[in-house]
Structure 1
Amino acid sequence: MNIEHIKHPFTEYFPGDFSKNPMQRNTPKVLFSTIDPIGFDHPKLIHFNSNLAAEIGLGQYDQNDINFLVGNHLPENIQPYATAYAGHQFGNWAGQLGDGRAIFAGEISSHSGKATEIQWKGAGATPYSRHADGRAVLRSSLREYLMSEAMFHLGVPTTRALSLSLTGEDVIRDVMYNGNPQAEKGAIVVRTAESFLRFGHFELLSAQNEYKTLEKLTEYVIERYFPEITSVGVQKYKDFFENISKRTADLMVEWYRVGFVHGVMNTDNMSIVGLTIDYGPYSMMEEYDLNFTPNTTDIPEKRYAFGKQGQTSQWNLWQLANALHPLIKDEKFLEDSLNAFGTYFWEAHDNMLCKKFGFDQLLEEDEEFFTNWQGLMQELQMDYTLFFNVLETFNEEKDLKSQFQKVSYGILDDKSLTKIENFLSIYKIRLDKNKISRNSSILLMRENNPKFILRNYLLYQCIEELNNGQSEVFYELLHALQKPYEEIIPKFSGKRPIKYDNIPGCSMLSCSS
């Protein structure tokens, strides 16, 4: 790989701590701390993302690159560091946080000039590890590696994964936080992004009254990641906030389109450039439920449930608005902007649903249609992805029950089938109001409804196999996720088997996941 061109513009631009002390501590008035990865004696590469490597300008892998991929024996041009940020976690102010198990290698530019940040996840403790060891396990590393790539191919803004490696050591984790820690295989993911900056970076500086550095960070981010902003003075910061709000709303709509539930939408897990970051206790929606949360830590409040993700992102933007207030100093503007978020989000959300149903435009009556559809989905425990697949191919001449039973987690009795028939009648009437042909309508559905999603039970299977030294499912999933709008591997396109219900680490996940 071509790593000699890795640079460190962030550490050259902002105040930092260069002591390389990995001990947990507060680091006031700095945005980063230099730190060395701990290194591993017996690493083993599981997979290298050669397509991504070529895209970002790293070139192809050779056997000596394993050292870089796990943070061993780094060349002199690389100065690793971890950043400090703050945040609200489950609605409560958590104070200083930071990259607890993520360490930046730096930034590289591709031939097109586009810059990409590169970091290790699981390479050891940093000052922000909060008494943890900074390591990662195969279970969580594989989940991030595969899911971030799945989201990319689904067309959802996301961080991406460059490599997945075993560290050759065991790591102790209590997967369900229930007092049963066990040894698991250690692993490292190298992940990439346009930027890993979060709402929490701005919250930290504002909370510390470091307004000059806050302004410097804001200017830095606007210049690098928001070229569309050409205004000056305070208006520049207002445009910045409105751009972030729009990107965040657009991201939430994409999550709803594919059925992604993040599980832990703390402000420190919100990207300042509108990416999906920090894949922990996430899940793809299976049986439709607006109150579904995959995170055991989020029960019983269900703050981060599927149906609350738009609302939660708006709340998080309120916290960002508070952090940027020292620069903007206009409460009415911020309040109006945040209120406008709801209007923009719901219009974008409903237009997205139109495409999933094959409607060419949003009509006033569609709000009632969508509400009734949601009620039907939840009552009959319909699989979110499979429902739209059946709707696209529905054949009136075939048995209704046989077509919809394969997408329902419940039993479809005569009463349930009547409700489906009534819905289909209303749907047909609504389709007749399209100004496009049925073929064009179906094409719209195919472009917006995936055939393959990375279900938790599939990830569970994959983790179990890899832990036993087998990789068949891993490579099958890797192949299928690259073309999610096609049915590449039919066996992955069905409902979750009953045997995977209520299994820790499969249907139930914790922040350790």
Structure 2
Amino acid sequence: MQNLSTIKYAKDFVSTFDGDESGELRPRQTPGALYSKAAPTPVKSPTLLAWSEALAHELGIQRPKTQEEVDLLGGNNVTASMYPYAACYAGHQFGNWAGQLGDGRAITLGELKTTAGKTWELQLKGAGPTPYSRRADGRAVLRSSVREYLMSESMHYLGVPTTRALSLVATGDQVLRDMFYNGNAAHEPGAIVMRVAPSFLRFGNFELLAARKEADNLRKLTDWTIDRFYPHIQGEGDAKILAWFREVVERTASLMVDWLRVGFVHGVMNTDNMSILGLTIDYGPYSFLDDYDPDFTPNTTDLPVRRYAFGKQHSIAYWNLGCLASAIAPLLPDTVQLVAELEAYRDIFYPKYFAMMGDKLGLDEVKPEDTELITQLEETLAALKPDMTIFYQLLIDLPLSLADEKAVVKYFEPSLYGVPGEAESRALHNLIQTYIARVKENSCSRAESQVRMRQNNPRFILRNYLLHQAIEELEHGEDTLFVKLQQAIQNPYSREFDEFFAKRPDWASQKAGCSMLSCSS
């Protein structure tokens, strides 16, 4: 196992592309540069709060034993082999072109090459200003850092492609934040997350180069991305680019299916928050669904339009892929085939979606007529608004002899947030009778069907109110719940942590930070 302070870090990205190497942190435009050198700004007293042992083992890194190593995780120690930088990219935010954005509070330290042959980019989030911080301070608060650390690891154990989090460090500094952009700014404890991924490249990296008409840089970045992260794609020229875009479309569609499977709502699906590798990236005002609501958005900034609501995420992904297609279009002689690859998104997404829903429902296979059952399920859940996670857990152990309407409603009562009306009760009863009839047609046994359901329906999800409670405790020097949540996220499909198997409490539905959050979260 290697020591963080003695690792020889690679500099492949900065060695390949042009960047601004002045080290000047003043906010500015950086035409022609794909990155800017940006050293972390030291903090008062870095203290290790959390460490992902499983990820560290995969990276071949030992847990920090000295303050020197903790200082590295807090941005106070940059080793000789590192080249800290902030990436430059652009993006569409809430559907509007935002121009140059870039890493405003993230600084990449370098690339770690493991003995298994993998390369990982190590990045500090909250380590101070960069040329892309605009009017911000480049810092992160404990609140947002705990959310990123826990959720990125939670998504990994749920089986959802994601960036990872290696460590969480308290800085000892206070950071001024206006949590809801309502003029009520307050000081909060600062923190830094070291996050890890093969790459943090986004759709916005390509959009920026296209917007600036930097054709050579655009082609170079595209070729480098394919060769490094999609090495199985062979060939040359147009065919290679189209094959790559086709796979980005496929990975993005698969990611959306996974989000819908576990009830995850990203909250801010701007194109600068879309990974070119099909990973979940940039955890801000996210949430899992409590009550099932396709129109739910956890982001106060997304109101009243609800552009990034739960049920719209797959459509937004398609829109964002259109932006990526527009960005790489200058590399091709025409857009006919590129548009065809983009339009194939629907043909890729929906079969994946229905197959996923079949797994959640324990069907042996999804037949054409099963789409009617799935549509009926979606409509019933949207009307009834049960707790999504608990509903599916109850469905796993549903007695197939359940026939009476009152008995059906009573069975699902633990998932309900209120008393259903006559229409909702009838709809639920009709759905369950249709479902029971279909399950009885399975070629597999009931036990095999239930195994499939347990593998695809999480029993534990990282609810916002649990995060809020853990953050409040940490701010008061208590880490009991935080430690327990770190354990629970590693076993989301088991009954091991059934103390958390409960609906969102009434008090949490309106409390700030427990339901909706702003982009500053």
Provide TM-score, normalisation by structure 2: 0.96
Moved more, 393-402 or 202-211: 393-402
User: Which residue is equivalent to 1:256?
Assistant: 260
2:447 to 418, 439, 442: 439
- Tell whether 2:17 aligns with 1:17: no
Given the superposition, is the C-alpha separation of residues 441 and 253 from structure 1 closer, same or farther in structure 2, using an over 3 Å criterion?
Answer: same
Q: Deviations over 1:398-448 (max 9, x none)?
A: 854443111011213565444322221100111122221111111110110
User: Which residue is equivalent to 1:464?
Assistant: 472
Q: Is contact 1:2–1:57 with CA below 8 Å preserved after alignment?
A: no
Q: Is contact 2:112–2:121 with CA below 8 Å preserved after alignment?
A: yes
d(CA) in 2 for partners of 1:213 and 1:371? 46
Give the secondary-structure state (helix, strand or coil) at the position aligned to 2:412: helix
d(CA) in 2 for partners of 1:389 and 1:279? 26
Query: What one-letter code is carried by the residue in structure 2 that aligns with 1:199?
Result: F
Give the secondary-structure state (helix, strand or coil) at the position aligned to 1:406: helix
User: Which residue is equivalent to 2:55?
Assistant: 52
d(CA) in 1 for partners of 2:92 and 2:422? 48
User: Which residue is equivalent to 1:123?
Assistant: 127
Give the secondary-structure state (helix, strand or coil) at the position aligned to 1:111: coil
Q: Is contact 2:126–2:139 with CA below 8 Å preserved after alignment?
A: yes
2:456 to 448, 451, 456: 448
Q: Is contact 2:400–2:436 with CA below 8 Å preserved after alignment?
A: no
2:341 to 333, 337, 344: 337
User: Which residue is equivalent to 1:105?
Assistant: 109
2:494 to 469, 482, 486: 486
Query: Superposed, which structure 2 residues align to 1:92-491 within 5 Å?
Result: 92-395=96-399, 399-412=407-420, 416-491=424-499
Q: Deviations over 1:44-87 (max 9, x none)?
A: 11011122112112233212311110111322111200010010
2:514 to 495, 506, 512: 506
Q: Deviations over 1:59-117 (max 9, x none)?
A: 33212311110111322111200010010000000000100000001100111010000
Query: What one-letter code is carried by the residue in structure 2 that aligns with 1:286?
Result: D
Q: Is contact 2:210–2:218 with CA below 8 Å preserved after alignment?
A: yes
Q: Is contact 1:54–1:60 with CA below 8 Å preserved after alignment?
A: no
Q: Is contact 2:180–2:520 with CA below 8 Å preserved after alignment?
A: yes
Query: What one-letter code is carried by the residue in structure 1 that aligns with 2:84?
Result: P
Q: Alignment RMSD, CA only?
A: 1.3
Q: Deviations over 1:114-157 (max 9, x none)?
A: 00000000000000001100000000000000000000000000
Q: Is contact 1:86–1:204 with CA below 8 Å preserved after alignment?
A: yes
Moved more, 325-334 or 95-104: 325-334
User: Which residue is equivalent to 1:79?
Assistant: 83
Q: Deviations over 1:256-310 (max 9, x none)?
A: 1111000000000000000000000000011111111110100111110111111
User: Which residue is equivalent to 1:27?
Assistant: 30
Which segments of 5 or more consecutive residues in structure 1 lack a partner in the other structure? none
1:5 to 2, 8, 28: 8
Give the secondary-structure state (helix, strand or coil) at the position aligned to 2:101: strand
Q: Is contact 2:297–2:516 with CA below 8 Å preserved after alignment?
A: no
Q: Is contact 1:102–1:123 with CA below 8 Å preserved after alignment?
A: yes
d(CA) in 1 for partners of 2:54 and 2:189? 27
